[in-house]
């Protein structure tokens, strides 16, 4: 596991590369964000954006989504993995928002996790983006970066999340989620990571092991 000094260097370097990181999901309202994040499970942000660019002009409120109905909503989502399940979850969530939250997206973990299809990871994203909560939504990118670098090793997403809560220096916690996601998406990729371009390789346990063996990753 990385030392406090190495963690400080790591996030300072990521901050220098991207001072104001943001989600790559396209949205203009709290409800649009919730929908986009729910759709992003087992899907890329790009594929979600391709679906929502057609959906949101037609339905971007709980009431409008419910008015579409299952078949029409499914038509907008059919390019996404598990679109039938996601359709049902979105409609059930929209109904719950109307019935219990005055059609507004709640901003507490407890309330968010009562929404059908919303688990801990989705709630963490919503809390981080909407209210700047210091949460870590451990997706495949964060899980890989945390383990590969030695930042917060763990066998499960929850273990990694708890490790990040201990390891990430306080000044960087609000944006750490996005920095790690973007780093995993574009630099620390699953196959052939771009170590030569990596701004944090000097503190990365993976790079250290590669360098010691004189293996050059390009």
Q: Residues 115-127: pLDDT tens digits?
A: 999 999 999 999 9
Instruction: Say which CATH number the domain at 50 has.
Output: 1.10.340.30
- Contacts by 179-182, CB closer than 8 A, 24 or more apart: 179/11, 179/14, 179/15, 179/18, 179/21, 180/14, 180/136, 180/141, 180/142, 180/145, 180/146, 181/139, 181/141, 181/142, 182/18, 182/21, 182/24
pTM of the model: 0.91
Residue 86's domain comprises 1-218
**DSSP class of 197:** G
Query: Per-residue pLDDT for 132 more than 80?
Result: yes
Give the whole-angstrom CA distance, residue 156 versus residue 90.
27
Q: Residue 60: exposed, middle, or buried by beta-carbon count in 10 A (0-12, 13-18, 19+)?
A: middle
140-149 mean pLDDT: 98
Share of the chain above pLDDT 90, in %: 95
The string of pLDDT tens digits covering residues 151-198 is: 999 999 999 999 999 999 999 999 999 999 999 999 999 999 999 999
pLDDT for 216 equals 53
Give the whole-angstrom CA distance, residue 195 versus residue 217.
6
* Residue tagged active-site, from 30, 86, 99, 121: 121
* Residue tagged active-site, from 16, 86, 139, 155: 139
121 catalytically annotated: yes
pLDDT for 218 equals 46
78 catalytically annotated: no
The residues, any chain, with a CB within 8 Å of residue 10's CB and separated by 6 or more, are: 2, 149, 151, 200, 203
Count how many domains the chain has: 1
């Amino acid at each position: 596991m990385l030392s406090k000094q190495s963690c400080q260097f790591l996030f300072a370097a990521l901050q220098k590369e991207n001072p104001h990181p943001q989600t790559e999901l396209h949205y203009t309202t709290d409800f649009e964000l919730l929908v986009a994040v729910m759709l992003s499970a087992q899907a890329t942000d790009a594929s979600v954006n391709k679906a929502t660019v057609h959906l949101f002009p037609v339905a971007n409120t709980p009431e409008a989504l419910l008015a579409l109905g299952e078949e029409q909503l499914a038509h907008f989502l059919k390019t996404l993995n598990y679109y039938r399940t996601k359709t049902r979850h979105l409609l059930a969530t929209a109904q719950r928002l109307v019935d219990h939250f005055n059609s507004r997206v709640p901003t507490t973990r407890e309330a968010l996790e009562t929404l059908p299809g919303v688990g801990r990871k989705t709630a963490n994203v919503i809390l981080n983006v909407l209210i700047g909560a210091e949460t870590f939504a451990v997706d495949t990118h964060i899980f890989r970066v945390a383990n590969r670098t030695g930042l917060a090793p763990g066998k499960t997403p929850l273990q990694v999340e708890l490790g990040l809560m201990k390891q990430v220096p306080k000044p960087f916690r609000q944006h750490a989620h996005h920095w790690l996601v973007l780093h995993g998406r574009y630099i620390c990729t699953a196959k052939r990571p771009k170590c030569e371009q990596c701004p944090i390789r000097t503190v990365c346990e993976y790079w250290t092991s590669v360098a010691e063996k004189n293996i050059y990753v390009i």
